[in-house]
Amino acid sequence: MADPVRLKDILNGGKAGLHPSVAYIFKKQLVEGDIILISKTDLLTAEELTLLKKKTKISYPNTAIKSISVATVDGMGNWLNEVLSRSDTGNNLVEVNYDVYAEYEAVMGLLNSTFELNGSSVDWDVL
């Protein structure tokens, strides 16, 4: 799912206001996606949406391009039909620079860990 303003900036070579490592991962996710879903289409004119879809398809020719507006529910049926009818996934796998990915995790505050809590009672407010 891609915000149209960020997607447009990424397609134009920008970073969409994102930290460089976050923009890098965003771009990788676009390349790897089976479907790019342009969201918030109610914020665009019909002409802007058509142009954005065309530009996205040129940049990602192996990817289905769909669009939705949650506000108007426009495009929801098309997107759901696409998702529910596809059996091919994971066809666009890409290499990732894991040093940049680690920086992305730090910037985004992602934490991969496991915790085990033991005790007879837990004060969740304190935890």
- How many structural domains comprise the chain? 1
* Alpha helical stretches, state H, the chain: 4-11, 20-32, 46-59, 76-85, 98-108
Whether 94 maps to a domain, the answer reads yes
pLDDT in tens, 68-124: 998 999 999 999 998 899 888 877 888 888 888 888 888 888 667 787 877 778 777
d(CA 14, CA 125): 42
pLDDT in tens, 1-59: 999 999 999 999 999 999 999 999 999 999 999 999 999 999 999 999 999 999 999 99
Whether 125 maps to a domain, the answer reads no
The reported pLDDT for the residue numbered 58 is 96
Q: Report helix, strand or coil for 28.
A: helix
Whether 60 maps to a domain, the answer reads yes
Whether 54 maps to a domain, the answer reads yes
Whether 102 maps to a domain, the answer reads yes
Which amino acid appears at position 71 of this protein? A
Range of the domain at 91: 4-108
Whether 98 maps to a domain, the answer reads yes
Q: Report helix, strand or coil for 97.
A: coil
The reported pLDDT for the residue numbered 109 is 81
Let me know how long the chain is: 127
Whether 127 maps to a domain, the answer reads no
Q: At what angle do helices 4-11 and 20-32 cross, to 10 degrees?
A: 90
